[in-house]
Amino acid sequence: MAMINSTSGYDNTNYSRVSGLSSGMDIDAIVSKMMRAERLPLDKLEQKKQTLEWQQADYRSLNTILNEFRTNAYDTRLERTFLARNADSSNTGVAAVSAAANAIDGTYSIKVNQLATGVARASTIDLPSGKTADGRSLTLFEQFEAEFTARGYGAEDKISVTINGKELQFDLGNDNLTTVASIINQADLGISAAYDSKMNRFFLNTTATGSEAKISITADAAGLFANLGEDDNTSMLNLSLNQGMSYTGQNASIDFGDAQGLTSSSNSITVNGITLNLKGEGSTSITVTRNIEGTIDSISKFVDSYNKTLKTLYDKVQEERDPRFPPLTAAQKEKMNDSEIAAWEKKAKSGLLKTDGELKNLINSLRSAVSTAVSGLDGPYKTLSSIGIKSEAYDKSGQLVLDEDALRKALSDDPDAVKKLFTNASKDRNEQGIATKLYQSALDGISYLAGQAGSATTTGTVDSSFIGKKLSKLSSEIKNWETKLIKKEDQHYQRFTQMEKAIFKMNAQSSWLMLMMGSGY
């Protein structure tokens, strides 16, 4: 049988062919050898396609790394990186504290007069069991049959209850306390309801705290939730609620230094960038200081991200290309084991981006951004080296080395100058901060890489990148060549088929003559 192997999956096996029956020749082997030369152009196309796919993968990998660096550079060019604050509370049982970048350093006295609360109600006594002996949930009517019957309600009735101004309906013959809680929770009343069948208690709580949080039952003729009379304990759920009364929470109240009586509906209060999470009544002292170590940590991560990005780019353009190792054809792979294929392809993939001048320009742009002074700044801190961040020699890919002690000193001496060194914004690139310039360089690089090969999220059907278009064209050419080879193989077999027929005919005639001669004719 005949087959043309292809990395594209080209398989023209024709199981209806019968070869060499008359001639005794191995027609399949002959055609296979003939097709080997015919398919050389297809092999070249497939190798070219494979090279482009590897190149595309390299570009997309660089795009991903550059995107990560862009995000890091974006964070570093924000003022909050350099204005981070530490905040400590002397009594965390009264208040925990955190500080934003705009908080003012200092020590503040805090007194918590009262916490913000909501409204909470629970059944004050055990309710009648809500389940049968076999575990079935009882309906409202079954659970409170005596009360509903005494008040003129039957199992077929529905009752209406107005809670926080919204009317709800409950079916006595179908709903149970669990579904009652669910109806309340879905009604957007600012109230959370729950029924614990093991404890036989019903619970109502406001979802918020403060004076605006409330539970108000203004209509409950059956007395399921609220007492029929004031404080007469006639509600079936025993929630200590009277009809027509509004039960509200309370606001938190604190004294913040000389500012007394500050209120909040929640127990989280922010004053001048200082956020207090109130825990209990009492007094505490809070201290706000600049978080130099946090800034050093952020800058250290930025340096690591820069080094990773630059080294990856540098290594790619330094890789040597060895033309002796083109992509393997399918026929070549059949003669090699997996380890041999892997070793070959490692060399074949090397140096695919070595001649890319734009990548080299990107590397130079990144190096320039970290090595040149920022124009227009006052004071001694105008370069990265002035704050303890120095660059290795270019032959070592220009990696940055951070001296934390020098950076700590610069941040202590003039934190605003260090901030401007990284974050300064200007239309003039010479006046832009280090992180600002690197962010723009990363954006430019990402744009170029996407134009070359798309991104990791680009799909084949919408890939309009330079390589994407070339791959699409190559795929069409490969498909056309596969069609040509199928036709060419068929032509070869047709010729041999004609030869086989002729030989068969000659053999038949020869046999007939021999038969005649043997018979004496």
Domain that holds residue 240: 120-248
Cα 376 from chain centre: 39
> Among 152, 221, 224, which residue's Cα sits nearest to residue 195?
224
- What are residue 511's phi and psi, to 5 degrees? -65, -35
What the block records as the tokens of 129 is 């069991």
Q: Which of these three, 259, 290, 321, is where a domain ends?
A: 290
Average confidence (pLDDT) over 300-328: 94
Reported pTM: 0.69
- What are residue 193's phi and psi, to 5 degrees? -120, 150
Query: What pLDDT band is residue 65 in, cutting at 50, 70 and 90?
Result: very high
Domain assignment present for 490? no
Domain assignment present for 515? no
Contact 250, 116 (CB under 8 A): yes
What's the Cα-to-Cα distance from 465 to each of 181, 295, 469, rounded to whole Å?
A: 57, 40, 6
Q: Which residues contact 498 (CB under 8 A, 6 or more apart)?
A: none
Looking up residue 181, the CATH number of its domain turns out to be 3.30.70
Q: 238 and 373: one domain?
A: no
Domain assignment present for 415? yes
263: left (phi over 0), alpha (psi -120 to 50) or beta: beta
Residue 503 has pLDDT above 90, yes or no: no
- The rounded radius of gyration (Å) of the Cα atoms in the chain is 41
Mean pLDDT of the chain: 89
Q: Which amino acid is at 243?
A: Q
Q: 66 and 124: one domain?
A: no
Residue 8 has pLDDT above 70, yes or no: no
Structure confidence at residue 483 (pLDDT): 85
Q: 73 and 180: one domain?
A: no
Half-sphere exposure of 344 (CA within 13 A, CB side): 15
> Among 412, 106, 479, which residue's Cα sits nearest to residue 289?
106
Dump pLDDT digits (tens) for 418-456.
999 999 999 999 999 999 999 999 999 999 999 999 887
Domain assignment present for 350? yes
Interatomic CA distance for residues 146 and 154, integer angstroms: 10
Q: 277 and 380: one domain?
A: no
More confident residue, 489 or 432: 432
Average confidence (pLDDT) over 331-358: 94
Q: 278 and 385: one domain?
A: no
Q: 438 and 303: one domain?
A: yes
Domain assignment present for 468? no
Determine the 3-state secondary structure of 243 from DSSP. Answer: coil
Please give the tally of structural domains in the chain: 3
Return the top range by mean pLDDT from 29-38, 133-142, 475-484.
133-142
Q: 63 and 97: one domain?
A: no
Residue 21 has pLDDT above 60, yes or no: no
DSSP bridge pairs for 110: 256, 284
Structure confidence at residue 501 (pLDDT): 73
Q: 312 and 453: one domain?
A: yes
Q: 187 and 200: one domain?
A: yes
Cα 140 from chain centre: 47
* HEC per residue, 308-356: HHHHHHHHHHHCCCCCCCCCCCHHHHHCCCHHHHHHHHHHHCCCCCCCC
Q: Which residue reads 């990363």 in tokens?
A: 442
Q: Which of these three, 290, 319, 347, is where a domain ends?
A: 290
Q: 423 and 283: one domain?
A: no
- What are residue 9's phi and psi, to 5 degrees? 85, 20
Q: Which of these three, 260, 290, 320, is where a domain ends?
A: 290
Structure confidence at residue 90 (pLDDT): 98
Q: 375 and 314: one domain?
A: yes
- Tallying the residues shown for the chain, one arrives at 521
CB atoms within 10 A of CB 328: 20
Interatomic CA distance for residues 442 and 309, integer angstroms: 10
Q: 156 and 225: one domain?
A: yes
Buried b (16+ CB within 10 A) or exposed e, 461-477: eebebebbeebeebeee
DSSP bridge pairs for 203: 122, 194
Structure confidence at residue 13 (pLDDT): 43
Dump pLDDT digits (tens) for 217-257.
999 999 999 998 876 788 999 999 999 999 999 999 999 99
What the block records as the tokens of 506 is 């000659």
End-to-end alpha-carbon separation of the chain, Å? 43
Dump pLDDT digits (tens) for 364-405.
999 999 999 999 999 999 999 999 999 887 666 789 999 999
Domain assignment present for 518? no
Interatomic CA distance for residues 11 and 514, integer angstroms: 44
Domain assignment present for 481? no
Domain assignment present for 65? yes
Average confidence (pLDDT) over 264-287: 97
